[in-house]
Copies of this chain bind each other. A is one copy, B any other.
Amino acid sequence: MIPRPYHLFLGDVADEPHAKTAFGIRDWLPDEAVGQARLPGCGVDLGLDELTPAEAVARGARSMLIGVAPVGGQLPPAWVPSLLAALEAGLDLVSGLHTRLADIPELAAAAARLDRRLHDVRRPDREFPVASGRKRSGKRLLTVGTDCALGKKYAALAIARALRAAGIAADFRATGQTGIMIAGQGVAIDAVVADFIAGAAETLSPDAADDHWDVIEGQGALFHPAYAGVTLGLLHGSQPDALVLCHDPLRTTVSAYPDYPLPSLATAMERYVEAARLTNPAARFVGVSFNTSRMQPQAAADLMAQVEAEHGLPCFDPLRSDLGALVERVRAL
């Protein structure tokens, strides 16, 4: 587990699209974000108190989390003094950047001297077994998508929260960097060696009580020319009893692959169920999650009503809708 609460470091990034991780932490872990730290030129504001590392420690912070992605994915040298100051103040560091904190000599030396830990969540810090294919106890829900980056993490977080609110034991299981920072643990599934994708997914959601739900963050899409292998391995290792399809109604082609059209919702569901049934013959869809952030409310409501009628599945936007119908569908399984 990564020690929390977090102090959120925003560096000098110019705009919100580069600070998705920080906003994810603020939105999903409001009680675990004690403050923000910014460098001159930073154009992002989370609305949290501006704190020095020492002030953050005084408010309970245990780690400083790099909540932004600099252009190019490398750690700018200008950020290093702030990171050193956080270590000196008694904070661990948490990063999802390509550059490993442990590969920056000053940080590695300071962490060793101060007995602090550097959490590089982009790379798994352990090895995984080859998948066994053995059915595990407990229940699992996996969010899957018609494409990458359209709300699978937010859907899983919202579902786990809604299940717990309804008295159903549930854990969010993170498979990407921001998810791991929110959960405090997890596996960056796309960074696992190919042979062990399904094995890592099996490890991520171990045997559990029969009425416990693991709600697993999906990755990629079966229809993505680069990432479908990750998606399929995660699907097989997760052995989901329940699937939720995530879709962005305004997207018609795979993001950044304009020659690749998105499948229809019906085709997507058919292919996911077909693949999922290899390791769990009971796999079925229980809902459809829409990212309606760029739609008019009425258009979004009309679309969801239409898909509900057509497929007989509860439809929702994880950030806007009540998830009651989905929760009842899950409870009935």
Which A153-178 residues have C-beta < 8 A from chain B?
none
Q: Contacts A225-B131, A232-B229, A278-B228 hold; do A193 and B192 have CB atoms under 8 A apart?
A: yes
CB of A199 within 8 Å of the partner chain: yes
- Can you list, as one digit per residue, whether each of A96-132 has a CB less than 8 Å from chain B (1) or not (0)? 0000000000000000000000000000000000111
Interface range for A: 35 or more
- In the complex the two chains form, what is the Cα distance from A192 to B197 in whole Å? 11
> A49: shortest Cβ distance to chain B, in Å?
37
Check B198–A278 contact: CB distance below 8 A.
no
Residues of B within 8 A of A193 (CB): 190-194
- In the complex the two chains form, what is the Cα distance from A110 to B161 in whole Å? 58
Q: Which residue of B lies closest to A258 (CB)?
A: B133
Residues of B within 8 A of A189 (CB): 194
Chain A contact residues: helix, strand, loop or mixed: helix
Copies of the polypeptide in the assembly: 2
Check B198–A194 contact: CB distance below 8 A.
no
Instruction: Pick the residue among B229, B259, B275, B279 that contacts A233 (CB under 8 A).
Output: B229
> A153: shortest Cβ distance to chain B, in Å?
16
- In the complex the two chains form, what is the Cα distance from A231 to B230 in whole Å? 11
- Can you list, as one digit per residue, whether each of A239-272 has a CB less than 8 Å from chain B (1) or not (0)? 0000000000000001001011000000000010
> A71: shortest Cβ distance to chain B, in Å?
17
Check A228–B198 contact: CB distance below 8 A.
yes
Pairs A–B under 8 Å by Cβ, sample size 6: A133-B226, A133-B257, A133-B260, A191-B195, A193-B194, A197-B230
Residue ranges of A at the interface with B (Cβ–Cβ < 8 Å): 130-133, 189-195, 197-199, 223, 225-234, 236, 254, 257, 259-260, 271, 274-275, 278-279
| Additional A-B contact list (9), CB under 8 Å, known A133-B260, A195-B226 | A133-B254, A133-B257, A195-B227, A197-B230, A198-B228, A225-B236, A225-B278, A229-B231, A229-B234
